[in-house]
Chains A and B, each alone.
Chain A
Amino acid sequence: MKYMLVTLLLIVAPFFLFAQKEEELVKKVKSKLNQVNSYEANGIIKIDVSFIKAPNSPVRVYYKKPDKFTVKKEGGISILPKGGFSTNLNSLFMTDGYTIVPAGETNLQGSKVKIIKLLPPDESSNIVVATLYIDEKELLIKKSVITTKESGTYEMIMLYGKYSTLGLPDKIDFIFSVKDYKLPKGVTIEYESGEKKSSAARPGNQKGKIEITYSNYVINKEIVDSVFENNK
């Protein structure tokens, strides 16, 4: 019996030790991100979705602790994946009590990263699981894959530059699933011209990508809550 207990302890102990190490890493990343209470920045949005044709748009991005995030285009329309950006990394770390599960290491953007899975403490949470690829040396999240209940799985790839000391990326690639888009021709008042059609949209679920390139961050400046109110 004693022998069995010792064996079990020897098998389980490394996992706890590793988990503790990963927990430390997450804490360090969290404290780095915690330096930023709010930010606003200029951004350029590039939409790459098969059925959307939109020019690259200049936008203003706003974030405020704990989970307020919005993107606005002056005098125009901004389009973002549903629910996706509300699960941005800063707000992810504002919630305590995530179960941390180490999931190994890999190479990303030329550096070694730790793979860590975060499981929410609350069953009612919209996030099912978040997988983070953390650069241990620079304490930066290089990639995250977040699975949500309402909006499917999102992948974010972050590139850092000038603001890496605060954990703020210069560019985010946001990859997500999009449902097929179709409207009846009677509604859009469209007719078949009889000409050969270009293959625009493929049927079924597809992947979409939105790139945001940030510049001119203004960090920890007071942002009024009205900025985040949902304007139609």
Chain B
Amino acid sequence: MWTLLKIELFKIFRRPRTYIAFAAIAAIIILIQLAFYSDGENFLQFGMQSLKESFDIKGKILSGYLVCFIILQTLLIHVPLLIALVAGDSIAGEANMGTLRLLLTKPVSRTRFMFAKFLATLIYTLLLLLFMAILSLPVSLSVFGSSDLIIMKSEMVVILDSHDVLWRYFAAFGFAAIAMTTVASLAFLLSVFAENSIGPIVATMSVVILFTILTTMDIPLFNAVKPFLFTNHMLNWKGFFEEPVNYKSIFKSGLLLMGHIIMFVSAAIFVFRKKDILS
């Protein structure tokens, strides 16, 4: 299994396509940090206008914690698209190159083969998230420093003590890992059905975009559907930045996402085991 995994990881990290996601994430994070470094105070003044009508707020508002929160809020909606680039290619890419049939001539069961493929995709997803975490949290903290975290929500302002923030980021990144794995497993499943990697990549992106649009639209008809959309639960990493934290809701979302992962991966293995491999 370990040898299989090593081969799969080698294949993933040999491809230039893999590094597009890392480059895109680095570019976006650095641009956000630069923007906040040069004009962040003005941006925050604008955002806090409503609050400053009634209150005097003193202290360091623009901190590394706040910049990291803004980065996560901006990026975690788009990272699934980058994950689809690699996850959607895992089986369909082999089929497209004509190596799938050759690979299956080796004395390895299809289930083990699929597990190795999925584990490699999972490792890629986690590395991408780790890369994002390092760039957005320690780098932001070293540039902007530490302070209490003030989160401006539409109807609420949450202020978290600086000593009470770090664990929330660890928890949020942990939750984000589950959320991103859900997208990876969906792309992995769709990859089984295609002979060309473009199909599953675009299909995954389409599902994520469609569900995200349904999630963002505040229309009563869609509100009824939202609890069933996995993209809606993917946003629950923000729950760790509530006071008090609604663990029940986060746990429910985490469980639902893990259910999706198990369902997608099991379906992928089931279909692949039955599939007539012709390429």
Contacts and interface: CB of A to CB of B under 8 A. Distances in A.
Interface stretch (A12-20, A188-196, A212-220): A188-196
Interface in A160-192: 178-179, 181-185, 187-192
A200 interface: yes
A72 to B, nearest CB: 7
B218 A192 contact: yes
Contact of B159 (A52, A182, A184, A201): A52
Interface in A21-66: 51-55, 57
A76 B147 contact: yes
Contact of B56 (A82, A182, A188): A82
Contacts of A201: 155-156
Interface residues of A, number: 41
Interface string B41-67: 100000100111111111111000000
Interface centre among A72, A181, A187 (most CB of B within 10 A): A181
A188 B58 contact: no
Contacts of A187: 47, 152, 154
A72 B148 CA distance: 13
Interface stretch (B194-202, B219-227, B261-269): B219-227
A179 B53 contact: yes
Contact of B61 (A77, A178, A182, A190): A77
Given A55-B159, A181-B155, A183-B153, 4 more contacts: A73-B148, A76-B59, A77-B60, A188-B153
Interface of A: 51-55, 57, 70-73, 75-83, 178-179, 181-185, 187-195, 200-201, 208, 230-232
Interface of B: 41, 47, 50-61, 73-74, 146-148, 150, 152-162, 164, 215-216, 218, 222-227, 232, 235-236, 242-243, 249
17 contacts: A51-B156, A54-B157, A54-B243, A73-B59, A75-B60, A76-B147, A76-B162, A77-B148, A77-B159, A78-B57, A80-B56, A181-B50, A181-B155, A183-B47, A187-B47, A192-B223, A194-B225
